[in-house]
Structure 1
Amino acid sequence: MSRRVSALIKASHPEPAVAVTAVTALLAWGVGHRPIGILLVAATVAATQLAVGWTNDWLDAGRDRQAGRTDKPIPAGAVSRSSVGAAGLAAAAATPLLASTTGPAATLCISAALLSALAYNWPLKSTAVSVLPYAVSFGALPAFIVLALPGAPAPPGWLVAAAALLGAGAHFANVLPDLADDARTGVHGLPHRLGATGSQFAAAGLLFAATVTLVLGPPGPPSWAGLVAVAGTAVILPAGWYAARRAARRGGRPDGVFRAVMLVAVIDVLLLVAAGPVA
């Protein structure tokens, strides 16, 4: 693999792209898609992730240079800004083309999710409504997967609501480690306005709400596994806050809340996948 191609892959933010695509495939399997359906749904979502990642690095190139982010491909000179921008445009154009194989309702849904995510990159990233694109795009993801089923069944409201809460919580958790660096380079989204403590509470509250929705939302009584997940979440989040406070007192990196939130996010994803067929 050439150095340029490797740099282009790195500029796509491959870790979250792979993670979201893998969760999509698992959720597609969980709701009852056949193998070809899983492949088409996952390929469409992979295109959205590439479009968002490349567009993000293309837009942030100036800020990244200002912040000395030589760990990122464009400021490091490993790939040109124009190449990353062109790749993002190509991935964005591929999204509706791939989605068209899953039906018009699903195509409209995933296109809206992509537009919402791109709107976060610009202009909403530095506004008080920076959390909105996360809620919309994450909520649209399971809706797209369900609408892509034969007959385009309506996605359950509890599934969409839980995913939206998970996405909103992920926004606050994702920004927590970089609040100071972002503020220095002119990013003033909702987490920056709330500050570290406010963002920690927001992330924890939203993810706890997502867990409860995933457990109580489906018809019928909650499962034992779901109740254990709610109880575990109620313990994990305060434990993370306590660990962060101790680390801060000792002069260490107070990332306990971030780690706790990520663990709860994993629990929520597993609950999403375990939701089972919806049609």
Structure 2
Amino acid sequence: MTGPGTSPPTDRRSLVRGLAGACHPTPTAAVTTVTVLLAAGVGLSAGRVILIGAAVFTGQLSIGWSNDRIDAARDRAAGRTDKPTATGRVAVAALTVAAASALAATVVLSALLPLKAAIAALLLVAAGWAYNLGLKSTVFSGAAYVVGFGALPAVPYFAKPGHPWPPWWVPAVGALLGFGAHFANVLPDLKDDAATGVRGLPHRLGPRTSVIVMAAALAAASVVLGIGPASASTAFAIGASAAGLLAASAAAVVAVRAPDSPAAFRITMAIALLDVGLLIAVAT
């Protein structure tokens, strides 16, 4: 039974499903998973791992929801049936509240971390919001990913006792993966974005050049991971580099054959998980 001013249970379930779809669930889950695995891999306590995971998760929710909130009119104009707000499944007001609430939760959770870890975690969120608020339509669109994902792997290191800086190659790998992920994420939307006036770096380079840049960034991330750690063996360096090159080539082939598919972005996330696993192998 529902009382005055309340919504029927089916409406609440519909809202929850709509918000889940509007939060960009695949990248949200992937980024959170990568962070949690890295935090656990560098030896943090279970409580600290959970806190970092929660801070990153709510930050990603705020980025995803703010993206759909800011782009609501543009998505409707482009006829985006994959966007809950564009199809009317989620009201713009609901997204506004959700994004603001998630952002507030991120700030509170991050404040419970050591100062440098909190700054790095909030830098990721700030980069995502800057992208949503207009950077995505400029030649510097990739900068948000470079800064955000360069800062992301530093969070677990800064949360360790003594708050040590990560090795140079850790943020370098994150930045390169982020840059490649930017292209993989945008490629399926090039046509819709062009129709609504969005002209970020991938749009200016065009689909063919963008695929090359994406593959080069992903391959470079694995090469840096292979040669960066001083303790890594020759076999590790060769194996990590080869695995990254093969995966980057697969992402490029998929992007060329199916430019409207999110498959290349999913391969990018798989490469990120692979690199995190390799990073944990040499960092612990």
TM-score normalised over the length of structure 1: 0.89
1:122 aligned to 133, 141, 148, which one? 133
For 2:86, the equivalent position in structure 1 comes to 75
For 2:143, the equivalent position in structure 1 comes to 132
For 1:60, the equivalent position in structure 2 comes to 71
The amino acid that maps onto 1:154 is W
Aligned equivalents of 1:179, 1:142: Cα separation in 2? 29
Compared with structure 1, are the counterparts of its residues 69 and 37 closer, same or farther at alpha carbon in structure 2 (3 Å cutoff)?
same
Compared with structure 1, are the counterparts of its residues 75 and 90 closer, same or farther at alpha carbon in structure 2 (3 Å cutoff)?
same
For 1:173, the equivalent position in structure 2 comes to 184
Which stretch of the first structure deviates more once superposed, 195-204 or 171-180? 171-180
Aligned residues: 272
Q: How does 1:183-202 map to 2 (within 5 A)?
A: 183-202=194-213
Identity fraction in percent: 43
Gaps of 5+ in 1: 248-252
Compared with structure 1, are the counterparts of its residues 126 and 220 closer, same or farther at alpha carbon in structure 2 (3 Å cutoff)?
same
Compared with structure 1, are the counterparts of its residues 112 and 244 closer, same or farther at alpha carbon in structure 2 (3 Å cutoff)?
closer
Q: In the alignment, is the contact (CA less than 8 A) between 1:31 and 1:275 conserved in 2? A: no
The amino acid that maps onto 2:51 is L
Q: In the alignment, is the contact (CA less than 8 A) between 2:176 and 2:217 conserved in 1? A: yes
Compared with structure 1, are the counterparts of its residues 233 and 261 closer, same or farther at alpha carbon in structure 2 (3 Å cutoff)?
farther
Compared with structure 1, are the counterparts of its residues 214 and 80 closer, same or farther at alpha carbon in structure 2 (3 Å cutoff)?
same
1:233 aligns with 2:263: no
For 2:218, the equivalent position in structure 1 comes to 207
Compared with structure 1, are the counterparts of its residues 5 and 199 closer, same or farther at alpha carbon in structure 2 (3 Å cutoff)?
same
Q: CA deviation at 1:71?
A: 2.8
The amino acid that maps onto 1:270 is L
Which stretch of the first structure deviates more once superposed, 231-240 or 116-125? 231-240
The amino acid that maps onto 1:267 is I
For 2:48, the equivalent position in structure 1 comes to 37
CA deviations on 1:57-96 (whole Å, 9 max, x unpaired) are 0001001110112332112222210110111111111112
Compared with structure 1, are the counterparts of its residues 244 and 52 closer, same or farther at alpha carbon in structure 2 (3 Å cutoff)?
closer
CA deviations on 1:23-61 (whole Å, 9 max, x unpaired) are 111111111111111100100000110000000000010
Which stretch of the first structure deviates more once superposed, 20-29 or 258-267? 258-267
Q: In the alignment, is the contact (CA less than 8 A) between 2:32 and 2:56 conserved in 1? A: yes
CA deviations on 1:85-135 (whole Å, 9 max, x unpaired) are 111111111112101222111112211221111000011010000000001
1:274 aligns with 2:274: no
Aligned equivalents of 2:81, 2:156: Cα separation in 1? 37
Q: CA deviation at 1:206?
A: 0.7
Aligned equivalents of 1:135, 1:244: Cα separation in 2? 21
Aligned equivalents of 1:78, 1:268: Cα separation in 2? 32
The amino acid that maps onto 1:122 is L
The amino acid that maps onto 2:120 is C
For 2:108, the equivalent position in structure 1 comes to 97
The amino acid that maps onto 2:226 is V
TM-score normalised over the length of structure 2: 0.88
Q: CA deviation at 1:218?
A: 1.0
